[in-house]
A and B are shown apart, each in its own frame.
Chain A
Amino acid sequence: MTTATTTNTQRENPRLDEIIAAHQGREAPLMPILNDVQAEFGCVSEDTKRHIAEALNLTRAEVHGMVSFYHDYHETKATLPILKLCRAEACQSRGSEALAAKAEAMANGRAEIESVYCLGLCSVGPNAMIGGSVHARLDEPALEALIREL
């Protein structure tokens, strides 16, 4: 059992071991593990990378390569709630750029505004996503209301 081993560089984290154990028997378990880790902890830290690498018999570089490649994985946890505003062409044609220009000021320390490229709601933009919930037909008051509720 490699999942339970601990090294000097990493603190004990039973939840991380559970996530790894839940996927370890599958084909190519790394990505499902990273998805769950990101969802659960809000980031994939250096310690976590090393721990996962050890558990899956990979190098730390292989795990780090994954984390740095995919936009969804973050090295550090965001301190504020994240609002993802769609900036792809369909939303651009419906005014997302003007909205995005004001979003930062609206968020004003309440939320972190991230860009996302297409939520698949392309005829009712501008659109945004908060966690797993999606919001369409945003204008300034609607976006402001969304941010206030965060």
Chain B
Amino acid sequence: MRIAISDDALAIACGADKLAEAFAKAAPDAEIVRTSSWGMQWLEPLVDIDGMGFGPATPGDVAAILDGSSDKAIGKIEDHPFIAKQQRLTFARAGKTQPLSLEDYSETGGWAGLKKAHEIGPEATIEMVTESGLRGRGGAGFPAGIKWKTVAGAIADQKYIVCNADEGDSGTFADRMLMEGDPYCLIEGMAIAGHAVGATKGYIYLRSEYPHAVAKMDAAIKASAHLVSPFELEVRVGAGAYVCGEETSLLNSLEGKRGEVRAKPPLPALEGLFGKPTVVNNVLTLAAVPYVLAEGAKAYADYGMGRSRGTMPVQLAGNIKHGGLYEIAFGITLGELVEEIGGGTDSGRPVKAVQVGGPLGAYFPPSMFHLPFDYEAFTEADGLIGHGGIVVFDDTADMLNQAHFAMEFCAVESCGKCTPCRIGAVRGQETLERIRAGGRGAGAFEALPQMHNAKSAERSLEDEVVLLTDLCETMKFGSLCALGGFTPYPVMSALTHWPEDFGIRETEAAE
């Protein structure tokens, strides 16, 4: 009997370690292994006994699970609708292998991509990545092949591959799951990138909130060093700054500096880490590469729609009944993801809003659930896919509060380099507070003699809304990076779709 329980941080947070101990005690003859997570997070800790699943299990369920009388049985895991309908390319090993087992990795097709890259050479490797249509999964959606080609074409004594694993967006956990569940896949992807562009050194910038991922990556790098040599890899741990997920800020942080954003140009591809040509890619981008090389560009590009090719590991989070990792080709609608797959809210109340793409992503109402998951479609709808996280809110959410939080978060996390973000976020909070109060009376502060340019008359709610809209416009187009530039998305989408939460009556909103 093989009993598999995940050692993913989420499973552990839900009690997987204690459960594994209980099984070891109750079934001393069984082989107990710790695998990656299937991604059915509402069922964690999920017990996998020879392919049959039981969850969410507690130590109290152990006896019943072993004697077959448990009501936590979910049947064969691979046939579960949540798993069976997915198209898992990047997460093909999820739930099946032991994360740090080199044996498991090579038996499931590991290193085939790197071997292929060595066979066909750097130029053909970049060609394949370009043809696959793979775009940066961190949020910007920039074609990976073009970035690689730029770095490959640059002449320098040293080049770098930097993996952005600073997954700070709320509602996203795919990077964490990949690093904890299939670390060699990321290592292989980075080694392929290194081979393709002529870089011998790679850094993984990993956030400090992910200690389990840090431990796994460190161990995996050590165990696989001989397989990717002469390419060398190192994990660098962040220190709790959200803005370091922005690529130029990340590079500064890697250099041991404050995580302040750099102006572009120069592009990091030409002058990146320590001023050298650098590929900066997200975990999911790099982890998709081994599949592209092993199975061919066409195999990957056959999935998806429009200019969004391949699959996206979508993360279903927040107040959702069936939360977890759902990897699927681009083109699935938001409604399918939230209602059909996610099963609606966990609280059982109606869905009010979903935020797609983390703290900088727009809020969408159910009336927009027809939107297909596609970079261009979301941009057109004044939103973004970001890193593919979907956070569901039920009807108790107050969208003015959410807009205020977006500004507050931006103010706390702003690196301070550019004015629209640093000051705009603070003014945004204040404006939203005045909107909550329904406007403000004639200002005492503005009546001071030195404030001779300020408008001292009272401001109505409508005046405040105009101010907020104007401020958001300034932040969107005037900020150096996506933190200040995208904070208007959650704010303006909340205002547009739920004006009643801002105290605006419907007739006014329609005007």
Contacts and interface: CB of A to CB of B under 8 A. Distances in A.
Interface in A109-134: 116-125, 127, 129, 132, 134
Which of B169, B172, B358: most chain A Cβ within 10 A?
Answer: B169
Given A31-B256, A123-B318, A117 B170 contact: yes
B173 A120 contact: yes
A103 interface: no
A29 interface: yes
Contacts of A125: 318
B236 A32 contact: yes
A123 B316 contact: yes
Contacts of B13: 121, 124, 127, 134-136
Contact of B391 (A65, A93, A129): A93
Contacts of A137: 14
Contacts of B238: 70, 72
A120 B240 contact: no
Q: SS class of chain A's interface: helix, strand, loop or mixed?
A: loop
B9 A121 contact: yes
A120 B167 CA distance: 8
Contacts of A147: none
A92 to B, nearest CB: 7
Given A28-B254, A89-B170, A117-B409, A124 B41 contact: yes
Interface residues of B, number: 62
A136 B56 CA distance: 13
Contact of B240 (A72, A88, A89, A132): A72
Contact of B323 (A69, A73, A122): A122
A20 interface: no
B291 interface: no
A89 B393 CA distance: 9
Nearest to A128: B13
A21 B276 CA distance: 26
A30 interface: yes
A66 B359 CA distance: 25
Nearest to A31: B256
Interface string B149-165: 00000000000000000
Interface string B310-321: 000001111110
B11 to A, nearest CB: 9
Contacts of B409: 117
A43 interface: no
Given A35-B239, A120-B209, A124-B13, A92 B405 contact: yes
B255 interface: yes
B359 A88 contact: yes
B399 to A, nearest CB: 12
Which of B256, B391, B402: most chain A Cβ within 10 A?
Answer: B256
B505 interface: no
A65 B209 CA distance: 21
Contact of B239 (A31, A117, A119, A123): A31
Contacts of B402: 89, 92
Contact of A89 (B10, B236, B391): B391
Interface in B258-291: 258-260, 274
Given A31-B239, A71-B239, A118 B170 contact: yes
Contacts of A118: 168-172, 209
A100 interface: no
Interface string A79-97: 0000000001111111000
Contact of A120 (B172, B258, B391): B172
A133 B473 CA distance: 41
A72 B409 CA distance: 16
A29 B257 CA distance: 10
Nearest to A29: B256
Nearest to A92: B405
30 contacts: A26-B234, A31-B254, A35-B237, A38-B239, A65-B258, A66-B258, A71-B240, A71-B241, A88-B170, A89-B318, A89-B405, A90-B391, A93-B318, A93-B319, A93-B392, A94-B318, A119-B9, A120-B167, A120-B176, A121-B10, A121-B173, A122-B170, A122-B171, A122-B315, A123-B320, A132-B211, A134-B10, A134-B212, A136-B14, A137-B14
